[in-house]
């Protein structure tokens, strides 16, 4: 099977798993997943969080949005052509149904005044323990995340988590994945500041070793000369 065929098969598998749960059961699992999300330092420290308004079968976020509205600045995605654009959430009365029947902020799609989020919460069809994500196949989130360098947390039910899922080179890995039963964290990604710090440490270490070597050479020369003087005397 090709990668795309494997992805389609996995989407069908997850769809069947979702149908095995009642809406009430998914609501309960959603509450447990979101409770875990709230405990994360990345969420607690974020002043501005990009979320999503859930479709049926996703971790349900409507109540969560209402709970945190007014405490954090919240952003929701809107579909703009082939891309997702983040726009401020101004409460449930500010939403309308947009593309694919997703509830979106009722704002001018051409507006560019949305703040930069500190954290983005991402839905998906499936995730794995290497923090890979499988979406619906349209590439909206892949394109959005490719332009953002910030923590990305996948949010899903436990039955959407697999040991391995098929991925392509353009698929963006998550910083962490949160389900109703656990949190899977990855290693912190090395930033440019981290790289510069490592380079500075290497330079200081090399310089220190070079100075020690020079001092050792000077001492050896001095000792040799002293020995020569003693022999002459």
* pLDDT per 10-residue tile (average), the chain, 233 residues: 92 96 96 97 96 95 95 93 90 87 74 80 96 90 86 97 91 94 75 52 67 77 68 61
* Same domain as 174, residue 204: no
Nearest to 71 by CA among 44, 103, 32, 31: 44
Residue 79's SS3 state is: strand
Report DSSP state, residue 57: T
* Same domain as 196, residue 85: no
* Same domain as 150, residue 70: yes
Q: What is the CATH number of the domain that holds 43?
A: 3.40.50.10420
* Same domain as 200, residue 128: no
* Same domain as 84, residue 12: yes
The pLDDT value recorded for residue 225 is 66
* Same domain as 177, residue 207: no
Report DSSP state, residue 129: T
* Same domain as 169, residue 62: yes
The pLDDT value recorded for residue 172 is 85
Residue whose tokens read 């902020």: 105
Positive or negative, the CA dihedral 101, 104, 107, 109 is negative
The pLDDT value recorded for residue 187 is 58
The pLDDT value recorded for residue 64 is 97
Of 146, 162, 185, the residue at which a domain comes to its end is 185
d(CA 101, CA 92): 15
Angle, vertex CA 154, rays to CA 135 and CA 27, nearest 5: 90
Q: How many domains does the chain have?
A: 2
Residue whose tokens read 């709970």: 67
d(CA 153, CA 101): 23
Of 185, 200, 223, the residue at which a domain comes to its end is 185
Nearest to 49 by CA among 30, 32, 34, 29: 34
* Same domain as 203, residue 132: no
* Same domain as 153, residue 79: yes
The range of the structural domain enclosing residue 204 comes to 190-233
Residue 89 near residue 51 (C-beta atoms within 8 A)? yes
* Same domain as 139, residue 208: no
* Same domain as 57, residue 114: yes
* Same domain as 210, residue 227: yes
């Amino acid at each position: 099977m090709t990668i795309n065929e494997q992805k389609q098969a996995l989407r069908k598998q997850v769809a069947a798993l979702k149908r095995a749960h009642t809406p009430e059961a998914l609501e309960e699992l959603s509450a447990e997943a979101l409770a875990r999300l709230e405990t994360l330092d990345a969420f607690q420290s974020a002043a501005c969080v990009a979320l999503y308004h859930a479709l049926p079968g996703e971790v349900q976020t409507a109540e969560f949005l209402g709970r945190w509205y007014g405490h954090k600045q919240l952003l929701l995605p809107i579909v703009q052509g082939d891309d997702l654009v983040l726009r401020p959430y101004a409460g449930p009365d500010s939403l309308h149904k947009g593309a694919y029947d997703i509830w979106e902020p009722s704002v001018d799609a051409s507006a560019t005044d949305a703040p930069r989020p500190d954290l983005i919460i991402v839905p998906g069809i499936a995730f794995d323990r290497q923090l890979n994500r499988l979406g619906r196949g349209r590439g909206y989130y892949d394109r959005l995340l490719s332009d953002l360098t910030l923590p990305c947390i996948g949010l899903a039910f436990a039955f959407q988590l697999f040991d391995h899922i098929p991925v392509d080179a353009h698929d963006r890995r998550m910083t962490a994945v949160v389900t109703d039963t656990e949190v899977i964290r990855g290693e912190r990604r090395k930033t440019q500041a981290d790289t510069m710090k490592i380079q500075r440490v290497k330079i200081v270490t090399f310089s220190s070793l070079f100075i020690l070597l020079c001092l050792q050479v000077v001492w050896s020369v001095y000792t040799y000369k002293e020995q020569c003087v003693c022999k002459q005397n």
